Amino acid sequence: MNDKLEANLLFYESIVPIAYLDMDGFFTKVNPAYSVLFSFLEEELLGREFTIHFPNLDLDSKKKQIQNYKEFFLLGEKELYQDSLADKFGNFKKVEITRSLIHLADGRIQAVIFLSDLSNSEKANEEVLNAVFNAIGGVIYHSRLDAGNRKMLFMSERADVFFGYTSQEIQNNINILANLIHPDDLISPAQSLEIFKKNNNFRRIQYRVKNKSGSYRWLEERSILIQSSTKEYDIYGVITDITENRENNKRLEDLRFALDQSVIVSTTDINGTIVDFNDNFCKISRYERNEILGRNHRIINSGYHPKDFFKTMWKTISSGKVWQGEIKNMRKDGSYYWVYSHIIPLLDDQGIPFQYISIRNEITQRKEAEELLAASEEKYRLLYENAPVGIVIVDSKSNIIDCNTYLLKMLGYEKKEVVGQNSYNFIHKDFIEYRSAVLAKLFKGEVKRFYIEEKRKTKEGIYIWIGCYSNAITDSFGKVVYRLDFITDIENRKKTEEQLLKQDQSKNAILNIVAHDLRTPVIGITNLARLLLKQEDSVDKQNYLQLMEDSGNHVLSIILDLLDMASLEQDLLSLNLEATELNAFIKHCIKIHQIQSQEKMIQIHFKSSIEKIYHDINQDRMTRVLSNLLSNAIKFSYENGHIEIFLYREKTKTVIQVKDHGIGIPKEIHEFLFDKFGSGRRVGTKGEKTIGLGLSIAKEIIDKHQGKIRVESEENKGTSFYIEL
C-alpha cells in the first residue's frame, strides 16, 4: 500500500476531527470523527458552507466570516485558535482549531482544519483510546515538538510490551526510546518534521527496537502532524509490531522481484478492471501506471483474436476454472508482443470468483521465430514442389524418403511407387558399381557432394540419361544421416552430344583427307612452276607460271590452316608449355616475316618497356599466333609503311601489341573477326587473299593459354591487336 493510500486510511480512521474546505469555504471532505462530533452525516456537510456551524449569524456577520476565511487563503499562514461551533442540533461545542493550507496532487489548494474537543476531559479520551488500541494490539501516542524538543503527552497502556517500559515511564522521559531504537533507524526531530512536510503532514516510518532479550523487533509508526502554534507541533500516531509481517513481506518482495524479472502479473476485479499489477506490466506494455490502473485489458488488445476467443476465456474463468493460452497484445507505441497467460480465479467461500490473477510470460521472440520458421518452411516447400529439377531425399541405406513432383513427372511414376523404394532399383546396372563407391565416400565424410551422370529407369521401362548432384546432410554431430539429390534430365543433351561427336568425327576425317591427300601434289605443282619459271624466257609464259606458283602457294596456305585447325581441336587440351623470354621470342617472329615485309618495303619496329620477362607458353603455337598477326599487318598495310610491336606490363598482365597503319577494319565486322570462315574476310592492299581461319586459330591458342586477344581498329587509320597474358 502506498503512502497516499495510507494517509487516506489514517484520515478516515483518525480520532481527531478533520475537514477539508475549498477556497469559497465549502466542505469537500470530512472524516467520521468530524461527523460524530457535530452529529452531521457526511453527505449533510459535503458541498455546504462552513458557516453551517454559525446558525445565528446575521447576513453582515456571515459575510465578514467568509471574507476572513478568504483572506486566510490569500495569506496562506497557519492558524491556531479556539472557537465555539454549533452541531446539527444547535448545541455549541468549544473546540481548538488548527487551520492550514495544503496543495493537492491535481493542483487545487484547500484548507484543512484539525479540531480538539475542549468540552470533554483528557482523561476520558485516554480511557477510550486505551480500550480501542488494547483491543487491536497496538500503541497510540500524542507527542509534542516544541522548539526542537520532544515531549510525550500520552501513550496507551501496551507500551511495556513493545518497549519494556511503561507508558508513564516513557511520558516522564521520552529519551528512553532513543536508547532502544537501532542507531541506523533513529531520526532526529528535525528530520521527522522534514518527512511530515514532504508528505502532507503524514509520516510512515519503520524501525527496530531492542527488547529485553537483546534481540530486535520491527515496529511501524504512522502519524499525522498538527501545528498548534508557530513553534509547537502536535503529533498523533499509531505504533504496531510488524516483525512477522516484515518477514513475510520480505519473502513476498523477493518473490515479487523474481516475478518482475520474468513474468507479467496483474489482478482484476470480477468485471475485469485492473486493480493491481507489477512493474513488468508497465515495462513490456510501455504504459505508465496511471494509464493502466482502473482500466481493463482491452487497453492492450491487438485486435488479432476473434471475439469468440475471449468469450471462451471468460466462460472458463467465470466458472472458477483456470484458463491458459497464447495472446497477442499491442503496446502503447503500436508494436505487438505475445504472452503465454495463466488466468487464475480467486474464489470466495461459495466458490464464486471475486478476483482474477493473470500471470503471463512474454513469448514474442519464440512466436516471431515460429512465424519465421513457418514462413521459411512454406517457402522451401514451395521451392521443393515447384523447382524445375527433380529432388530426392535418400537415407544411408539408399531408401527413398521423399521426392518432389518434378521427379515423378520426369520418370512417370506416382509418389507411392517411389517413396520407400531403394534408389538402386531405378539405376541402370552399368552405373551401380561406380555410384556405390562414390556414395561410400559421401557417407564416410570423405566428400560432401558429387556429380554423376547415369541412366535411370522410367515407369515404361526405358532408361534415360540424368545428371545427379548428391549432397551430404549431417546431424548436429556431423554424422551423415541422409543425402539430398538434385536430378536433371540430360537425355536430349546426350543425344545431341552423340550427334555432334559423329559430325565431328566425319569433319575431321574430311579435313585429314583434304589436308594430307592434297598437300603433296600441290607442293609438287608449286615447285615445278618455280623451276620452269627460272628456265622460261617468254614473258607471257613467265606470267602464266607465276600465276600457277601464286595459286599453288595460296592453296598450300589453306591446307596448312586446315591442318592447324584439325590439330588444334585434337591436342590443345595438352599443350606443352615452357618458360620463354618474350623479348627474344618476338624478335625471332619478326625475322620470319622479313622477306614478306621487304616485298612491300614495310619496316617493323619492336619496342619493349621490360628488359626481360618470362612466360610459360607453347612456342610453336604462339609463333603461329604472332605470325598470323604480323602477316595480316603486312597484308593490310600500304607500301613503304611501318608496323610497330610493343611489349609492356599493365597491372598484373603482360601485353603484346601489334599495330599497323593500314586500311583498318570496318566496325560492322569487328564481332566476326575471330569466327571460323566468318564474314570478316578481306583482300590485302595488293590483292592478297584470306580464308578467315587465321584469327580464329589465334584466339583458340590464346584461350588455351588462359589469355585474351582483342582488337581496336578504325577504317583508313590502322589496326591494333592486343594479346594479354
Query: Mean pLDDT, the chain, as a whole number?
Result: 82
Q: Which of these, 69, 72, 70, 97, lies nearest to 83 by C-alpha position?
A: 97
Read off the amino acid at residue 379. K
C-alpha cell at 429: 546396372
- Confirm whether 584 is domain-assigned: yes
CATH number at residue 407: 3.30.450.20
Q: Return the pLDDT at 122.
A: 47
Query: Of 423, 454, 489, which residue constitutes the final position of a domain?
Result: 489
The residue among 656, 574, 579, 568 whose CA lies nearest residue 617 is 579
Residue 132 confidence (pLDDT): 47
First to last CA, the chain: 87
| Calpha distance 32→350 (Å, rounded) | 33
Give the span between the Cα atoms of 235 and 239, in whole angstroms: 13
Last residue of a domain, one of 442, 468, 489: 489
Q: Is residue 309 in some structural domain? A: yes
**Are 391 and 503 contained in the same domain?**
no
359 and 438 together in one domain = no
pLDDT digits (tens, 9 = 90+) for 566-593: 566 555 445 678 889 999 999 988 888 8
Average pLDDT over residues 168-180: 87
Residues 7 and 96 in one domain: yes
- Verify that 365 and 412 share a domain, yes or no: no
> What would the mean pLDDT of 476-493 be, rounded to a whole number?
86
Question: Is 684 a residue whose pLDDT tops 80?
Answer: no
Q: Tell me the sheet residues that pair with 240.
A: 220
| Boundaries of domain holding 29 | 1-120
> Residue 511: is its pLDDT beyond 50?
yes
Pair 563, 621 in one domain: no
82-138 tens-digit pLDDT: 888 888 888 888 888 888 888 776 778 888 888 877 765 444 445 444 544 554 567
CB atoms within 10 A of CB 428: 14
Report which of residues 649 and 510 the model is more confident about: 649
Residue 8 sits in the same domain as residue 115: yes
The C-alpha atoms of residue 132 and residue 18 are separated, in whole angstroms, by 19
The pLDDT assigned to 342 comes to 92
pLDDT the model gives residue 288: 93
Picking from 643, 656, 644, the residue whose alpha carbon sits closest to that of residue 707 is 656
- What's 559's domain CATH number? 1.10.287
The CATH number of the domain holding residue 591 is 3.30.565.10
In a domain, 547, yes or no: yes
Q: Is residue 17 part of a domain?
A: yes
325 lies in the same domain as 398: no
Residue 140 lies in a domain: no
Query: Are 112 and 89 in a shared domain?
Result: yes
Last residue of a domain, one of 463, 489, 515: 489
| pLDDT class of 599 with cuts at 50, 70, 90 | confident
Q: Report if residue 222 sits inside a domain.
A: no
